Amino acid sequence: MRVTFNSKFNQGLDGILNTQKRLLRAQDQMIKQTKILTPADDPSGSAKVLGVGQNLSQLSQFEQNGIAVKNNLGVEETVLASIRTAMDRARVLALASGNGSYAESEREAVASEIEGIQQQLFDLMNSRNVEGGYLFSGFQDGVQAFSLDASTGKYVFNGDDGQKALQVSPGVTLPVNDSGKKVFDSIQVRPQPTAAVIAVPGPTAATVNITNQEVFNNFYISNYDKAVPANNTFSVELTAPSDYQILRGGAPLVPPVTGAYTSGQPISFNGLEIVIDGPAGAGRVDFDLPAPEKTNILNSLSELMAALRTPGPVDDVFQASVAKAVAEIDDASTSVASARSAIGGRINVLDSINGSNADLEILATQYQADIAEVDFSKVIADLTKEETALQAVQATFSTITNTSLFDYIR
Protein backbone atom coordinates (compact mmCIF):
# COMPACT_ATOMS: atom_id res chain seq x y z
CA MET A 1 0.00 0.00 0.00
CA ARG A 2 1.32 3.39 -0.99
CA VAL A 3 1.45 6.01 1.76
CA THR A 4 1.62 9.55 0.48
CA PHE A 5 3.41 12.36 2.21
CA ASN A 6 0.14 14.27 2.73
CA SER A 7 -1.53 11.24 4.30
CA LYS A 8 1.40 10.67 6.61
CA PHE A 9 1.50 14.37 7.58
CA ASN A 10 -2.23 14.63 8.23
CA GLN A 11 -2.28 11.49 10.37
CA GLY A 12 0.58 12.81 12.49
CA LEU A 13 -1.05 16.24 12.80
CA ASP A 14 -4.38 14.68 13.83
CA GLY A 15 -2.57 12.73 16.50
CA ILE A 16 -1.00 15.89 17.89
CA LEU A 17 -4.28 17.86 17.82
CA ASN A 18 -6.26 15.08 19.51
CA THR A 19 -3.63 14.70 22.19
CA GLN A 20 -3.58 18.48 22.74
CA LYS A 21 -7.37 18.49 23.01
CA ARG A 22 -7.29 15.82 25.70
CA LEU A 23 -4.51 17.71 27.50
CA LEU A 24 -6.45 21.00 27.38
CA ARG A 25 -9.55 19.28 28.71
CA ALA A 26 -7.58 17.90 31.64
CA GLN A 27 -6.12 21.36 32.25
CA ASP A 28 -9.60 22.95 32.15
CA GLN A 29 -10.90 20.39 34.62
CA MET A 30 -7.98 21.20 36.90
CA ILE A 31 -8.46 24.97 36.62
CA LYS A 32 -12.28 25.01 36.89
CA GLN A 33 -12.32 22.14 39.37
CA THR A 34 -15.21 20.46 37.63
CA LYS A 35 -15.52 17.42 35.47
CA ILE A 36 -18.55 18.82 33.59
CA LEU A 37 -17.15 21.45 31.26
CA THR A 38 -20.13 21.49 28.88
CA PRO A 39 -23.67 20.09 29.11
CA ALA A 40 -22.66 17.48 26.54
CA ASP A 41 -20.24 15.96 29.04
CA ASP A 42 -23.12 14.91 31.34
CA PRO A 43 -26.58 16.25 30.36
CA SER A 44 -28.32 14.95 33.47
CA GLY A 45 -25.57 16.03 35.84
CA SER A 46 -25.37 19.43 34.16
CA ALA A 47 -29.08 20.05 34.77
CA LYS A 48 -28.71 19.04 38.41
CA VAL A 49 -25.70 21.31 38.88
CA LEU A 50 -27.66 24.20 37.35
CA GLY A 51 -30.56 23.64 39.75
CA VAL A 52 -28.25 23.40 42.75
CA GLY A 53 -26.45 26.55 41.62
CA GLN A 54 -29.72 28.46 41.49
CA ASN A 55 -30.57 27.21 44.97
CA LEU A 56 -27.18 28.34 46.26
CA SER A 57 -27.66 31.76 44.67
CA GLN A 58 -31.03 32.08 46.39
CA LEU A 59 -29.52 31.09 49.74
CA SER A 60 -26.76 33.65 49.19
CA GLN A 61 -29.39 36.35 48.56
CA PHE A 62 -31.25 35.31 51.70
CA GLU A 63 -27.98 35.64 53.59
CA GLN A 64 -27.47 39.18 52.27
CA ASN A 65 -31.08 40.07 53.15
CA GLY A 66 -30.55 38.70 56.63
CA ILE A 67 -27.49 40.90 57.09
CA ALA A 68 -29.50 43.95 56.01
CA VAL A 69 -32.37 43.03 58.35
CA LYS A 70 -30.06 42.54 61.30
CA ASN A 71 -28.18 45.79 60.66
CA ASN A 72 -31.39 47.83 60.42
CA LEU A 73 -32.94 46.20 63.46
CA GLY A 74 -29.72 46.71 65.39
CA VAL A 75 -29.77 50.44 64.62
CA GLU A 76 -33.43 50.70 65.59
CA GLU A 77 -32.93 48.79 68.84
CA THR A 78 -30.05 51.10 69.80
CA VAL A 79 -32.15 54.19 69.05
CA LEU A 80 -35.12 52.86 71.02
CA ALA A 81 -32.88 52.07 73.99
CA SER A 82 -31.66 55.68 74.02
CA ILE A 83 -35.24 56.94 73.70
CA ARG A 84 -36.36 54.81 76.63
CA THR A 85 -33.51 56.16 78.78
CA ALA A 86 -34.51 59.74 77.96
CA MET A 87 -38.17 59.00 78.72
CA ASP A 88 -37.26 57.53 82.09
CA ARG A 89 -35.36 60.70 82.97
CA ALA A 90 -38.32 62.86 81.90
CA ARG A 91 -40.62 60.78 84.11
CA VAL A 92 -38.35 61.26 87.13
CA LEU A 93 -38.31 65.02 86.56
CA ALA A 94 -42.10 65.16 86.14
CA LEU A 95 -42.69 63.27 89.37
CA ALA A 96 -40.22 65.45 91.25
CA SER A 97 -41.84 68.67 90.00
CA GLY A 98 -45.22 67.60 91.30
CA ASN A 99 -44.26 67.31 94.97
CA GLY A 100 -45.35 70.90 95.70
CA SER A 101 -42.08 72.05 97.27
CA TYR A 102 -40.41 73.49 94.16
CA ALA A 103 -40.21 77.25 93.78
CA GLU A 104 -40.77 78.85 90.38
CA SER A 105 -37.02 79.01 89.74
CA GLU A 106 -36.69 75.29 90.42
CA ARG A 107 -39.62 74.51 88.18
CA GLU A 108 -37.97 76.56 85.44
CA ALA A 109 -34.78 74.52 85.85
CA VAL A 110 -36.79 71.32 85.50
CA ALA A 111 -38.53 72.71 82.42
CA SER A 112 -35.16 73.58 80.86
CA GLU A 113 -33.87 70.04 81.36
CA ILE A 114 -37.08 68.57 79.97
CA GLU A 115 -36.70 70.87 76.95
CA GLY A 116 -33.26 69.38 76.37
CA ILE A 117 -34.71 65.88 76.65
CA GLN A 118 -37.41 66.84 74.16
CA GLN A 119 -34.79 67.92 71.62
CA GLN A 120 -32.85 64.71 72.21
CA LEU A 121 -35.99 62.67 71.60
CA PHE A 122 -36.79 64.72 68.50
CA ASP A 123 -33.36 63.90 67.05
CA LEU A 124 -33.63 60.22 67.96
CA MET A 125 -37.13 59.89 66.50
CA ASN A 126 -35.71 61.30 63.23
CA SER A 127 -32.80 58.84 63.16
CA ARG A 128 -31.65 57.38 59.84
CA ASN A 129 -30.99 53.74 59.02
CA VAL A 130 -27.76 52.26 57.60
CA GLU A 131 -28.87 53.20 54.07
CA GLY A 132 -29.54 56.85 54.94
CA GLY A 133 -33.35 56.69 55.05
CA TYR A 134 -35.40 57.92 58.00
CA LEU A 135 -35.82 54.96 60.32
CA PHE A 136 -39.36 55.65 61.52
CA SER A 137 -41.02 57.13 58.38
CA GLY A 138 -42.54 53.85 57.19
CA PHE A 139 -42.38 53.43 53.42
CA GLN A 140 -41.59 57.13 52.97
CA ASP A 141 -38.05 56.89 54.30
CA GLY A 142 -37.01 59.95 52.31
CA VAL A 143 -39.33 62.13 54.43
CA GLN A 144 -38.36 63.33 57.90
CA ALA A 145 -40.45 61.35 60.37
CA PHE A 146 -41.38 64.17 62.79
CA SER A 147 -41.43 67.93 62.48
CA LEU A 148 -42.75 70.93 64.39
CA ASP A 149 -45.86 72.53 62.93
CA ALA A 150 -45.21 76.23 63.51
CA SER A 151 -48.90 77.12 63.09
CA THR A 152 -50.07 74.87 65.93
CA GLY A 153 -46.93 74.44 67.98
CA LYS A 154 -47.46 70.67 67.80
CA TYR A 155 -45.04 67.98 66.68
CA VAL A 156 -46.54 66.00 63.81
CA PHE A 157 -45.73 62.72 62.09
CA ASN A 158 -45.00 63.04 58.36
CA GLY A 159 -44.50 59.44 57.26
CA ASP A 160 -46.94 56.56 56.92
CA ASP A 161 -47.67 53.38 58.83
CA GLY A 162 -45.88 51.15 56.29
CA GLN A 163 -43.34 48.54 57.31
CA LYS A 164 -40.62 47.53 54.85
CA ALA A 165 -39.62 43.88 54.83
CA LEU A 166 -37.05 41.53 53.28
CA GLN A 167 -37.34 37.82 52.50
CA VAL A 168 -34.89 35.75 54.52
CA SER A 169 -36.08 32.26 53.55
CA PRO A 170 -38.49 30.78 50.99
CA GLY A 171 -41.43 31.23 53.36
CA VAL A 172 -40.38 33.95 55.81
CA THR A 173 -40.31 37.73 55.34
CA LEU A 174 -39.14 39.91 58.23
CA PRO A 175 -39.84 43.63 58.78
CA VAL A 176 -36.74 45.82 58.82
CA ASN A 177 -38.31 48.87 60.46
CA ASP A 178 -41.23 50.14 62.54
CA SER A 179 -43.35 53.15 61.72
CA GLY A 180 -43.12 56.09 64.10
CA LYS A 181 -46.90 56.35 63.85
CA LYS A 182 -47.24 53.08 65.72
CA VAL A 183 -44.28 53.45 68.09
CA PHE A 184 -44.48 57.14 69.04
CA ASP A 185 -47.62 58.73 67.63
CA SER A 186 -50.21 56.45 69.22
CA ILE A 187 -50.16 57.63 72.83
CA GLN A 188 -53.71 57.86 74.10
CA VAL A 189 -54.30 61.31 75.59
CA ARG A 190 -55.79 60.96 79.05
CA PRO A 191 -59.45 61.87 78.63
CA GLN A 192 -60.65 64.96 80.48
CA PRO A 193 -64.17 66.40 80.52
CA THR A 194 -64.72 69.74 78.88
CA ALA A 195 -65.14 72.82 81.06
CA ALA A 196 -68.51 73.13 82.79
CA VAL A 197 -71.04 75.32 80.98
CA ILE A 198 -74.13 76.89 82.60
CA ALA A 199 -76.75 75.74 80.09
CA VAL A 200 -79.84 76.86 82.03
CA PRO A 201 -79.57 80.00 84.20
CA GLY A 202 -79.54 79.56 87.91
CA PRO A 203 -76.02 78.62 88.95
CA THR A 204 -73.47 81.42 89.17
CA ALA A 205 -70.34 79.30 88.66
CA ALA A 206 -69.42 75.67 88.02
CA THR A 207 -66.29 73.52 87.67
CA VAL A 208 -65.62 69.89 86.76
CA ASN A 209 -62.37 68.27 87.91
CA ILE A 210 -61.01 64.74 87.89
CA THR A 211 -60.39 63.28 91.34
CA ASN A 212 -59.75 59.67 90.28
CA GLN A 213 -58.29 59.34 86.81
CA GLU A 214 -58.50 55.56 86.69
CA VAL A 215 -62.20 55.53 87.58
CA PHE A 216 -62.92 58.27 85.07
CA ASN A 217 -60.90 56.46 82.37
CA ASN A 218 -63.02 53.34 82.81
CA PHE A 219 -66.20 55.44 82.75
CA TYR A 220 -65.01 57.21 79.59
CA ILE A 221 -64.19 53.97 77.78
CA SER A 222 -67.59 52.50 78.64
CA ASN A 223 -69.67 55.59 77.86
CA TYR A 224 -68.10 57.56 75.01
CA ASP A 225 -70.49 57.26 72.05
CA LYS A 226 -68.94 57.82 68.64
CA ALA A 227 -72.19 57.13 66.79
CA VAL A 228 -74.47 59.48 68.76
CA PRO A 229 -72.55 62.62 69.82
CA ALA A 230 -75.48 63.87 71.94
CA ASN A 231 -74.91 60.97 74.33
CA ASN A 232 -71.51 62.46 75.21
CA THR A 233 -73.15 65.46 76.91
CA PHE A 234 -73.75 65.01 80.63
CA SER A 235 -75.69 67.47 82.75
CA VAL A 236 -76.29 68.26 86.39
CA GLU A 237 -79.84 69.48 86.65
CA LEU A 238 -80.93 71.33 89.80
CA THR A 239 -84.48 70.45 90.83
CA ALA A 240 -86.82 71.85 93.44
CA PRO A 241 -86.59 72.18 96.26
CA SER A 242 -82.82 71.46 96.67
CA ASP A 243 -81.90 68.34 94.77
CA TYR A 244 -79.94 67.44 91.65
CA GLN A 245 -79.93 64.65 89.09
CA ILE A 246 -77.46 63.62 86.41
CA LEU A 247 -78.64 63.54 82.78
CA ARG A 248 -77.11 62.06 79.66
CA GLY A 249 -78.15 63.55 76.37
CA GLY A 250 -80.97 65.32 78.20
CA ALA A 251 -82.43 62.14 79.68
CA PRO A 252 -82.05 60.78 83.24
CA LEU A 253 -79.53 57.98 83.71
CA VAL A 254 -80.72 54.44 84.32
CA PRO A 255 -80.71 53.82 87.20
CA PRO A 256 -81.19 57.49 88.20
CA VAL A 257 -78.31 59.37 89.82
CA THR A 258 -79.69 61.95 92.24
CA GLY A 259 -78.78 63.65 95.50
CA ALA A 260 -79.12 66.66 97.72
CA TYR A 261 -77.68 69.89 96.36
CA THR A 262 -75.73 72.37 98.48
CA SER A 263 -74.08 75.38 96.86
CA GLY A 264 -70.31 75.01 96.74
CA GLN A 265 -70.33 71.38 97.87
CA PRO A 266 -68.75 68.84 95.46
CA ILE A 267 -70.88 66.28 93.64
CA SER A 268 -68.97 63.04 93.02
CA PHE A 269 -69.65 61.23 89.76
CA ASN A 270 -67.46 58.45 88.27
CA GLY A 271 -64.12 59.92 89.27
CA LEU A 272 -65.26 63.52 88.74
CA GLU A 273 -65.87 66.28 91.24
CA ILE A 274 -68.54 68.75 90.10
CA VAL A 275 -68.80 71.97 92.10
CA ILE A 276 -71.74 74.31 91.46
CA ASP A 277 -72.28 77.67 93.12
CA GLY A 278 -75.69 79.28 93.19
CA PRO A 279 -79.22 78.93 94.51
CA ALA A 280 -81.06 75.63 94.56
CA GLY A 281 -84.23 74.80 92.72
CA ALA A 282 -83.43 75.50 89.04
CA GLY A 283 -80.67 75.54 86.49
CA ARG A 284 -78.45 73.13 84.58
CA VAL A 285 -74.71 72.68 84.12
CA ASP A 286 -73.38 70.73 81.11
CA PHE A 287 -70.03 69.11 80.34
CA ASP A 288 -68.95 66.80 77.51
CA LEU A 289 -66.79 63.73 77.04
CA PRO A 290 -64.21 64.72 74.39
CA ALA A 291 -63.43 62.60 71.35
CA PRO A 292 -60.50 60.18 71.79
CA GLU A 293 -57.22 61.80 70.90
CA LYS A 294 -53.75 60.45 70.30
CA THR A 295 -50.48 62.32 70.59
CA ASN A 296 -46.74 61.70 70.88
CA ILE A 297 -44.21 62.11 73.66
CA LEU A 298 -42.90 65.38 72.20
CA ASN A 299 -46.28 67.09 72.60
CA SER A 300 -46.71 65.61 76.08
CA LEU A 301 -43.41 67.16 77.13
CA SER A 302 -44.41 70.50 75.58
CA GLU A 303 -47.55 70.56 77.74
CA LEU A 304 -45.55 69.64 80.82
CA MET A 305 -43.05 72.46 80.16
CA ALA A 306 -45.92 74.93 79.73
CA ALA A 307 -47.36 73.88 83.10
CA LEU A 308 -43.96 74.16 84.78
CA ARG A 309 -43.45 77.67 83.39
CA THR A 310 -46.90 78.94 84.40
CA PRO A 311 -46.43 81.38 87.30
CA GLY A 312 -48.28 80.78 90.51
CA PRO A 313 -48.57 78.25 93.29
CA VAL A 314 -48.78 74.50 92.84
CA ASP A 315 -52.52 73.88 92.63
CA ASP A 316 -54.88 71.15 91.49
CA VAL A 317 -54.62 72.26 87.86
CA PHE A 318 -50.81 71.94 87.94
CA GLN A 319 -50.99 68.57 89.68
CA ALA A 320 -53.43 67.36 87.05
CA SER A 321 -51.03 68.49 84.31
CA VAL A 322 -48.17 66.61 85.93
CA ALA A 323 -50.28 63.48 86.40
CA LYS A 324 -51.36 63.67 82.75
CA ALA A 325 -47.75 64.01 81.59
CA VAL A 326 -46.57 61.09 83.75
CA ALA A 327 -49.36 58.87 82.44
CA GLU A 328 -48.55 59.74 78.82
CA ILE A 329 -44.81 59.21 79.40
CA ASP A 330 -45.67 55.78 80.85
CA ASP A 331 -47.77 54.96 77.77
CA ALA A 332 -44.95 56.09 75.48
CA SER A 333 -42.43 53.99 77.42
CA THR A 334 -44.69 50.95 77.14
CA SER A 335 -44.97 51.45 73.39
CA VAL A 336 -41.19 51.71 73.03
CA ALA A 337 -40.69 48.62 75.20
CA SER A 338 -43.16 46.71 73.02
CA ALA A 339 -41.30 47.74 69.87
CA ARG A 340 -37.98 46.62 71.37
CA SER A 341 -39.50 43.27 72.32
CA ALA A 342 -40.74 42.82 68.76
CA ILE A 343 -37.25 43.58 67.44
CA GLY A 344 -35.76 40.97 69.78
CA GLY A 345 -38.26 38.43 68.53
CA ARG A 346 -37.41 39.16 64.90
CA ILE A 347 -33.68 38.85 65.57
CA ASN A 348 -34.22 35.48 67.27
CA VAL A 349 -36.23 34.26 64.28
CA LEU A 350 -33.54 35.57 61.93
CA ASP A 351 -30.75 33.79 63.82
CA SER A 352 -32.68 30.53 63.66
CA ILE A 353 -33.35 30.95 59.93
CA ASN A 354 -29.71 31.85 59.26
CA GLY A 355 -28.66 28.63 60.96
CA SER A 356 -31.06 26.62 58.81
CA ASN A 357 -29.93 28.40 55.64
CA ALA A 358 -26.29 27.68 56.49
CA ASP A 359 -27.07 23.98 56.91
CA LEU A 360 -28.94 23.94 53.59
CA GLU A 361 -26.03 25.69 51.89
CA ILE A 362 -23.59 23.07 53.18
CA LEU A 363 -25.81 20.23 51.95
CA ALA A 364 -26.35 21.87 48.55
CA THR A 365 -22.63 22.51 48.13
CA GLN A 366 -21.82 18.90 49.03
CA TYR A 367 -24.43 17.61 46.56
CA GLN A 368 -23.02 19.86 43.83
CA ALA A 369 -19.52 18.59 44.58
CA ASP A 370 -20.66 14.98 44.38
CA ILE A 371 -22.11 15.60 40.94
CA ALA A 372 -19.51 17.79 39.29
CA GLU A 373 -16.41 18.22 41.42
CA VAL A 374 -13.29 16.87 39.77
CA ASP A 375 -11.24 14.00 41.23
CA PHE A 376 -7.87 15.72 41.56
CA SER A 377 -5.84 12.51 41.73
CA LYS A 378 -7.45 11.27 38.52
CA VAL A 379 -7.16 14.56 36.65
CA ILE A 380 -3.49 14.93 37.67
CA ALA A 381 -2.82 11.44 36.37
CA ASP A 382 -4.68 12.27 33.14
CA LEU A 383 -2.76 15.53 32.81
CA THR A 384 0.59 13.73 33.22
CA LYS A 385 -0.43 10.99 30.80
CA GLU A 386 -1.56 13.46 28.12
CA GLU A 387 1.59 15.58 28.50
CA THR A 388 3.71 12.45 28.02
CA ALA A 389 1.60 11.35 25.06
CA LEU A 390 1.88 14.80 23.48
CA GLN A 391 5.64 14.76 23.81
CA ALA A 392 5.76 11.30 22.25
CA VAL A 393 3.46 12.11 19.35
CA GLN A 394 5.33 15.34 18.65
CA ALA A 395 8.63 13.45 18.53
CA THR A 396 7.12 10.74 16.31
CA PHE A 397 5.60 13.35 14.00
CA SER A 398 8.95 15.08 13.59
CA THR A 399 10.74 11.83 12.82
CA ILE A 400 8.13 10.58 10.35
CA THR A 401 7.71 13.84 8.46
CA ASN A 402 11.49 14.16 7.99
CA THR A 403 11.79 10.63 6.50
CA SER A 404 11.98 10.32 2.65
CA LEU A 405 12.75 7.69 0.00
CA PHE A 406 16.33 8.89 -0.16
CA ASP A 407 16.72 8.09 3.54
CA TYR A 408 15.50 4.57 2.85
CA ILE A 409 17.87 4.10 -0.14
CA ARG A 410 20.78 5.47 1.81
Each residue of 130-163: pLDDT tens digit?
A: 888 999 999 998 999 999 999 999 999 999 999 9
pLDDT at 234: 97
pLDDT at 4: 53
pLDDT grade for 2, boundaries at 50, 70 and 90:
low
Beta carbons of 185 and 294 less than 8 angstroms apart: yes
User: In the chain, what is the straight-line distance between the N-terminal and C-terminal CA atoms, in Å?
Assistant: 22
Question: Could you give the angle at the alpha carbon of 248 between the alpha carbons of 190 and 269, nearest 5°?
Answer: 55
User: How would you classify residue 138: left for phi > 0, otherwise alpha for psi between -120 and 50, otherwise beta?
Assistant: left
pLDDT at 356: 79
3-state secondary structure of 188: strand
Q: Which domains does the chain have, with CATH numbers?
A: 57-188+308-358 (1.20.1330.10), 197-292 (no CATH)
Nearest to 113 by CA among 101, 103, 121, 125: 121
**Mean pLDDT, residues 385-395:** 58
Strand partners, 273: 209, 268
d(CA 69, CA 62): 10
pLDDT grade for 43, boundaries at 50, 70 and 90:
low
Give the dihedral of Cα atoms 191, 193, 195, 196; nearest 10 deg.
-170
Question: Could you give the angle at the alpha carbon of 70 between the alpha carbons of 68 and 75, nearest 5°?
Answer: 100
Number of Cβ atoms within 10 Å of the Cβ of 158: 17
d(CA 25, CA 21): 6
pLDDT in tens, 271-283: 999 999 999 989 9
d(CA 23, CA 33): 15
pLDDT in tens, 202-230: 999 999 988 888 899 999 999 999 999 99
pLDDT at 33: 55
Q: Is the whole-model pTM more than 0.75?
A: no
d(CA 396, CA 405): 18
pLDDT at 321: 86
* Dihedrals phi, psi of 120, to nearest 5 degrees: -65, -45
Nearest to 76 by CA among 164, 155, 142: 164
**Mean pLDDT, residues 394-403:** 58
Residue 335 has pLDDT above 70, yes or no: yes
Residue 400 has pLDDT above 60, yes or no: no
Q: How many residues does the chain have?
A: 410
Task: State CA 330 to chain mean position distance.
Answer: 21
Kindly report the average pLDDT of the chain as a whole number. Answer: 82
